[in-house]
Structure 1
Amino acid sequence: MGDRITVCATCREGAGRALADRLAAAGLEVRLVECLNACGAPLALAVTGEGKATYLFAGVEPETQAEEVVAFAGLYRDAPDGEVADARGAGRLRFCLRGRVPA
């Protein structure tokens, strides 16, 4: 399994699917799930990779932050262990970070 972005499909009507489509069009592996249990701050997504840290973001604005998600995916891809030391390249998305689970 390569790096993957998991997007909540239900916490904002249609927004998760629209974001997933935009990310897939950018060449990212995307999976839609029914819930990421971050309902208090929709839209939620997770970035995961085999043997890498996992990141959970919530409060993502799909209309304005899709490019930031793509930028973070690039930073994550380039980090062998998934530990992104400097996420400034992902713009305001870094302020949506809710947690990181080490590999």
Structure 2
Amino acid sequence: MPDTADHFLLICETCKGGPSVGSMRDMLANRLPKGFAIRAIDCMAGCDRPATVGFQANNKAQYLFGDIQTAQDIDALAQFAEQYRQSPDGWTNATDRPRPLLTKTLSRMPRIAQEAPS
């Protein structure tokens, strides 16, 4: 995991179904843009749609995807990581995301705006 990571791909380690954290880490580790780290996370409440994966960065929208099952889904996550990295606020439209993720978006949380000190 890079010391300078400022973007994170979160993989639920309690999901039952879909690829394991270890296999997803292996499939994604060398395909993520510079500055990304992979973190295994306890339950992200996507239990009905395993496996769940999230994207997180400071001052950016956050995403949770579910039903990650296939190599095509993993490819789409790697593509989305690049898109997410390049977006200044993390905001993407569903139709702009890689097609396999179109119906797999469980949530998009808006960024928390950092207020300037008074």
TM-score, normalising length from structure 2? 0.76
Does residue 33 in structure 1 map to residue 37 in structure 2? no
Q: Which residue does the alignment assign to 2:23?
A: 18
**Structure 2 residues without counterparts, runs of 5 or longer:** 112-118
Alignment deviations for residues 7-44 of structure 1 (CA, whole Å, 9 cap, x no partner)? 01221366222112221122441101121111111000
TM-score, normalising length from structure 1? 0.86
Gap change, CA 1:87 and 1:32, over 3 Å in 2: farther
Q: Which residue does the alignment assign to 2:114?
A: none
Q: Which residue does the alignment assign to 1:97?
A: 105
Q: Which residue does the alignment assign to 2:79?
A: 71
Structure 1 range deviating more: 58-67 or 10-19: 10-19
Please list every run of at least 4 consecutive aligned residues from structure 1 whose deviation after the TM superposition is greater than 2 angstroms: 85-89
Aligned partner of residue 17 in structure 1, secondary structure = helix
Structure 1 range deviating more: 70-79 or 83-92: 83-92
Q: 2:63 aligns with which of 52, 55, 67?
A: 55
**Structure 1 residues without counterparts, runs of 5 or longer:** none
Gap change, CA 1:92 and 1:38, over 3 Å in 2: same
Structure 1 range deviating more: 92-101 or 18-27: 18-27
Give the residue type in structure 2 aligned to 1:41: R
Bigger Rg, structure 1 or 2: 2
Aligned partner of residue 60 in structure 1, secondary structure = coil
Structure 1 range deviating more: 61-70 or 5-14: 5-14
Structure 1 range deviating more: 56-65 or 71-80: 56-65
Over the matched positions of the two proteins, sequence identity in percent amounts to: 24
Give the residue type in structure 1 aligned to 2:11: V
